[in-house]
Amino acid sequence: MTSPLPIVRTPAELRAAVRAWQSAGKRVAFVPTMGALHAGHLALVTLGLAHADVAVASIFVNPKQFGPNEDLDRYPRDEAGDAIKLASVGCSLIYAPDVATMYPPGFASFVRVSGLPDLLCGRVRPGHFDGVATVVAKLLSAAGADVAVFGEKDWQQLAIIRRMAADLDIGTEIHGCAIVRDVDGLALSSRNAYLSADERARALALPQALQATRAAILGGMPVAAALAAGERTIKAAGFVRLDYLDLVDGETLHSLGRPAAGARLMGAGVIGTTRLIDNIAL
């Protein structure tokens, strides 16, 4: 099947394409993805084009951000379908390297952002955010784009990328894109495809608990009591594990005992065999 978009597979090809646009006076937006695209990913491209003239998306399932018992092998892949979706929202190029290109023999360099990866999801996914920081650093370096866009659904990832880009003087503007939700409120995720119909219905307890916890805190309930009530709601819905439900500073990700400007309510848990994450601004 012929792709509706050109696809390049090496850093040199990506860099050449981006520099050609920039030499013509165009701003370039870059959207890193792992494929299996949904409306949330397409919103990243749309936001990128609000800040730039041209959008490029990468598709790469990064093995270094999966733990030994996670879903690397079964993670959904559909490059042909993804290309059609990206073309529909004005993307101009796909960067789709293979693992050998990203991590050739002898690869020995890693990027770690101190502190932030040890909190929240990092407590149950050791090494995950080192893999994220490393691949994103490589992608941003290869692209040299003016703007890069990441979803706010993984707020911790966004905070880490912002810190890394600032610390390493990467020079690409980092923009966060608001969470895109299904009509019933569940945050869109490629992993939602793993949910059975029953699990999909019960998964709504996560966003609903976040909203109820937010309302309780803003209504004057002590943060600890509001979080405890939210935890009970999520567990009662049949989540087999609740990794955290917490009120945190949106930049440092440190827990907060009272409402504050920039605070986020963050939640993560497992229903069936699927781990879901979500967050909302307080």
Active site residues: 41
Provide CB contacts within 8 A for 200, sequence distance 6+: 186, 192
- Residues 75, 61 contacting (CB under 8 angstroms): yes
Residue 259 neighbours by CB under 8 Å, 6+ apart:
217, 218, 223, 247, 282
Read off the tokens for 54.
């041209």
Q: How far apart are CA 257 and CA 59, in angstroms?
A: 39
Token pair listed for 133: 């920081």
**Beta pairing partners, 275:** 270
Residue type, 62: N
- Tokens found for residue 241: 């594990």
Angle among Cα 188, 163, 15 to the nearest 5 degrees reads 80
Distance CA 201, CA 88 (A): 30
Nearest to residue 49, comparing CAs of 14, 90, 19?
A: 90
**Among candidate residues 240, 249, 177, 178, the one with its CA nearest the CA of residue 206:** 240
Counting every residue, how long is the chain? 282
Contact predicate 112/126, CB 8 Å: no
Q: How far apart are the first and last CA of the chain?
A: 46
